[in-house]
Amino acid sequence: MKRVVWVFVALFATTASPAQSKKELMDEITRLKQELEDSKKPKPVNVETEVDRASYSIGVLMGTSLKSQGGDSLNVRLIEAAIQDVLYGKELKVKREECSGIAQTYMTKTMELRNTKRIEEGKAFLAANATKAGIQTTASGLQYQVVTEGTGKKPGPTDRVTVHYTGRLTDGTMFDSSVERGQPATFGVNQVIAGWTEALQLMSEGSKWILYIPSELGYGARGAGGDIPPHAVLVFDVELIKVN
């Protein structure tokens, strides 16, 4: 930053050399600005030693936990600064006894806001989707589209089925796929989320459907691991291969 300031001072406090054109001066300013921006970018890290790997691993665990709780809106540099202050015995900017309450209040508020937004987005998605050609909606709110109508038998609630499927979020993010694994899945009709249990009993062997599953027929407020957030509407491509 000091170099950039020095260049501007040199430009306006002295007379430029006749040999140095205005274009050259502007090119130099542009170059120094780029250097400044590059200095702000995260530098590559090495995880070669045992200490490095352990340090990075602790960071991964902390980051994963924070992200799952909506903490990706936090100021990472201040988290780093606080850790350094604690480890090196520096004076804390916030009293230790206040930290738990402050953090809990913020994280709870952040999660509530995100959940509210996700619920509203899910309702809007399903409402718009219901108006599209070929989409059918059941009394429970399950939506489906028939891609191929099979001619085989339909499973009952206690049957086992073999299926191929791909699961995505409404933004297209894939979170699971038997197709990608190259191995169909077999399970009980009543051993899966409610949206699947309902849909499978409507399908015949050989059918290929697209399911649009409301959160309350999926994983609801708890979500599923790090891949399916709370209150997520789920989209599945499902092929019912066999009723066992």
Where in the sequence numbering do the catalytic residues fall? 165, 175-176, 193, 219, 236
Return the bridge partners of 135, or none: 145
Q: Who's near 215: CB < 8 A, 6+ residues apart? A: 119, 122, 221, 230, 231, 232, 233
Tokens of 167: 């699961």
Contact 233, 126 (CB under 8 A): yes
Tokens of 30: 């542009």
| Chain center to CA of 24 | 45
Tokens of 175: 């979170």
